[in-house]
Amino acid sequence: MTPLFYKDQERFYVSVDCLILGFKNDKLYLLISKRKFEPLKGQDSLMGGFIRPNESLSETVTRVVYEYTGIQDVFMEQVGAYGEIGRDIGERVISLAYYALIDIQSFDDQLCKVHNARWQELENVGELIFDHNQILKDTVDKLRRKAANEPIGFNLLPEKFTLPQLQSLYEAIYQTTLDKRNFRKKILEMDILEKQDDKDKSSSKRGAFYYKFNKEKYDQLLKKGYYFSL
| 230 residues of the chain, pLDDT tens digit each | 566 888 888 989 999 999 999 999 999 999 999 999 999 999 999 999 999 999 999 999 999 999 999 999 999 999 999 999 999 999 999 999 999 999 999 999 999 999 999 999 999 999 999 999 999 999 999 999 999 999 999 999 999 999 999 999 999 999 999 999 999 999 999 999 999 999 988 877 788 999 999 999 999 989 998 888 88
- In this prediction, residue 2 carries a pLDDT of 60
Residues 166 and 145 in one domain: no
- In this prediction, residue 104 carries a pLDDT of 96
Note if the pTM is more than 0.85: yes
Phi-psi region of 68 (alpha: psi -120 to 50; beta: other; left: phi over 0): alpha
- In this prediction, residue 6 carries a pLDDT of 87
Q: State which of 149, 177, 195 marks the end of a domain.
A: 149
Residues 116 and 65 in one domain: yes
**How many domains does one find in the chain?**
2
Residues 142 and 163 in one domain: no
> How far is residue 136's CA from residue 132's CA, in Å, rounded to a whole number?
6
Q: State which of 149, 168, 190 marks the end of a domain.
A: 149
Look at residue 172 and tell me if it is in a domain.
yes
Residues 143 and 171 in one domain: no
Residues 89 and 174 in one domain: no
Residue type for 157, please?
L
Residues 67 and 131 in one domain: yes
- In this prediction, residue 202 carries a pLDDT of 80
Distant-in-sequence, close-in-space partners of 95: CB < 8 Å, separation ≥ 6: 14, 15, 16, 17, 48, 81, 82, 83, 87, 88, 135
Residues 76 and 137 in one domain: yes
Look at residue 1 and tell me if it is in a domain.
no
Look at residue 71 and tell me if it is in a domain.
yes
Residues 97 and 185 in one domain: no
Residues 141 and 207 in one domain: no
The residue range of the domain holding 199 is 159-223
